[in-house]
Amino acid sequence: MSAAPIPTVLFVCVHNAGRSQMAAAFLTHLGRGRVQVRSAGSAPADAVNPAVVEALKEVGIDISAETPKVLTVDAVRESDVVITMGCGDACPYFPGKRYLDWQLDDPAGQGVAAVRPIRDRIEQLVRKLLGELGAGAAGS
């Protein structure tokens, strides 16, 4: 009997510098190889938000080497679950994919204190997603 295929999750926001980066980092960290993770933006920024990098560092996750990536049709096509976070209609739609829209405040221009509650909410949503995917979070 072969193992179930590893699900692929794509997180999308406008700049791929905050919310989608945090979500991808948490899913990578908590999923521990049980989920393939991607993130992208419809209009990527030049760099990841420094307050986001700092807020994740506080919980032991280092994304300082990450860079925003552009959203491609192939990234959507190759993903099982597409989670949008304020990218509007910029995300291509493919029948048969699971789409979720997470309503989260945008950390752009915010300091670490404002990013922490967004970070914590994203962690909760990612833990819930792992359970739904049958790839429960380690340590949960």
* Predicted local confidence at residue 140, as pLDDT: 43
**Residues identified as active-site:** 13, 87, 91
- Calpha distance 116→53 (Å, rounded): 11
**pLDDT tops 70 at residue 134:** yes
CA-based max dimension of the chain: 50
Q: What is the pTM of this model?
A: 0.91
pLDDT band at 83; cut points 50, 70, 90? very high
14 has a pLDDT exceeding 50: yes
